[in-house]
Amino acid sequence: MNATFLSRRAFLDRMSTGLTGVALTRLMDGAPVQQPHFAPKAKQVLQIFCPGAASHVDLWDHKPLLEKYHGTPMPGGEAEVSFQGKNGNLMRSPWDFVPAGQSGKMITSLLPHMARHVDDIAFIHSMASRTNTHGPGCVAMNSCFTRDGFPSAGSWVSYGLGSLNENLPTYVSIQDLRGEPPNGKSNWSHGFLPAQHQAVSMAAQQPLRNLARPAAISPTEEKATREYLHFLNQQHAQAHPGQEELRARMAAYELAAKMQLTAPEVSDLSREPQHIQDLYGTHDANHLKAAYARNCLLARRFLEQGVRYVSLYCASRASAVDGLLNWDAHKTLKADYERHGPIFDQPTAALLTDLKQRGMLNDVLIIWCTEFGRMPTHQQGTSGRDHNPDAYTTWMMGAGIKGGVSHGATDDFGRRSVQDVTSVYDFYATILHLLGLDHEKLTYYHNGTNRRLTDVHGHVLAPILA
């Protein structure tokens, strides 16, 4: 056998060249895509999130046997203990399920406005969560991880595709009047991604603070100050190369300056005609419904201006306004949902109608989420339902989605997902696919690992794609 021997100098030269190549590969793996991997079906995402674990068996997932065996023990579940303890007997939904649309999809009579859209929706009835606790559940539904510190899906999309409008944020999170969802800002955090990919949080009733130019400063003075600040920032950045947090902070301030001109106009809902205000219910006598309706209208206006990812929340972690714990109906499900249902129903359905009428569903993918489901039994000693991480429903609508279909299934009582069981990884693998992104290739190098939104899991849900 012939052996090739290297001199010490040649060995060091080749080793340094090889390590440079490895480093370059790492940098390329972590670099923003800024363009799709392949032709996208969707360009933007509207996420509608109902925190509190909205009950699948009371809203979307019809279970006739739950009605038939109401008041009897759940077969095999007599000794089962869920999040808050033992459960009672099976409990049918307080509302009838009725067929809707040409597809005849069975949907709760609690949501008559939403029922009009079932032929455009792909329901995913076989979701399963890794946690039965609200905070980690909400974070997992947004980031695929139950722990804080990981980037949200909106941040990944911002990182991967960039902005469609340089004068507005790439990612906006619109909060309910009742407050932030469980675990708050972790739901729209940039995690370990560059800081500019975190969402800008706002609401119709709480516009962006400190945006207006002080009256004592003239437009000319403000422009000159901005130009000088830009010069100083560039000098400072050149003196500190490679500091992403610094560049992100500079970009954030520059975006804020641009938003001074654009954001007030976009968030001015008075520009909308009366028939649109009536469609959404922005002046409804129920102030919580009116507030959520204004947020829905604000979401459409941001999407219309090219915001890449909009998260819209309906309810909060715990309401100091009306005393309800969002959709978390442990004790009095009927009374709670008869308050939540009307707040959610008309404004959300109006938003879907408005987007469709404007032709925006050619570009906008709509996703509806909650963190997990609820038990088909009543919680012992109450008329509510306990947490159920083993079964819940999500849905998608719009760009690239096949409407009027249902994917997966739970068992006869809605206790567990049993057919085409779907994880949050599959959910977001599908969303990234529709945006033209391969979920296995959208990576960011962090702490020695090429991190992904979908971790090391995920499959695209092909049956729901158009």
pLDDT at 21: 42
- Provide the pLDDT confidence category of residue 237 given band limits of 50, 70 and 90: confident
Instruction: Report yes or no on 247 lying in a domain.
Output: no
Note whether residue 241 is domain-resident: no
Phi, psi of 280 (to 5 degrees): -80, -30
Q: Give the pLDDT confidence of 130-152 residue by residue, as tens digits.
A: 999 999 999 999 999 999 999 99
Q: What is the dihedral of CA 446, 447, 448, 454, to 10 degrees?
A: -50
448 is a domain residue: yes
Residue 23 has pLDDT above 50, yes or no: no
- How far is the CA of 249 from the CAs of 198, 241, 260, 386, in angstroms? 12, 14, 17, 43
Contacts of 363 (CB under 8 A, 6+ apart): 42, 43, 44, 399
Spatial separation of the C-alpha atoms in residues 149 and 191, rounded to whole Å? 5
With respect to residue 408, please indicate whether it lies within any of the assigned structural domains: yes
Dmax over CA atoms of the chain, in Å, equals 90
In a domain, 227, yes or no: no
| Residue 175 is assigned to a structural domain of this protein | yes
User: pTM for the whole thing?
Assistant: 0.86
H-type helices in 37-185, by residue range? 56-59, 64-68, 134-143, 153-161
Percent of the chain with pLDDT over 70: 84
Q: Which is more confidently placed, 403 or 255?
A: 403
Tens digits of residue pLDDT in 318-348: 654 555 679 999 999 999 999 999 999 999 9
- Spatial separation of the C-alpha atoms in residues 294 and 426, rounded to whole Å: 32
CATH code of residue 53: 3.40.720.10
Please give the average per-residue pLDDT across 247-255, as a whole number: 66
pLDDT greater at residue 41 or residue 260: 41
Taking 50 as the threshold, does the pLDDT of residue 244 lie above it? yes
Query: CA-to-CA distance for 53 and 133, rounded, in angstroms?
Result: 10
Has residue 190 been placed in a domain? yes
Q: How far, in Å, CA of 397 to CA of 122, rounded? A: 6
Q: Is a pLDDT exceeding 80 seen at residue 214?
A: no
Which pLDDT value is given to residue 231?
79
Q: Is residue 15 part of a domain?
A: no
Asked whether 360 and 40 are in contact (CB, 8 A), the reply is: no
Residue 386, domain extent: 32-207+267-464
Q: Is the pLDDT of residue 4 over 90?
A: no
Number of domains in the chain: 1
What burial class does residue 98 get, using C-beta atoms within 10 Å of its C-beta: 0-12 exposed, 13-18 middle, 19+ buried?
middle
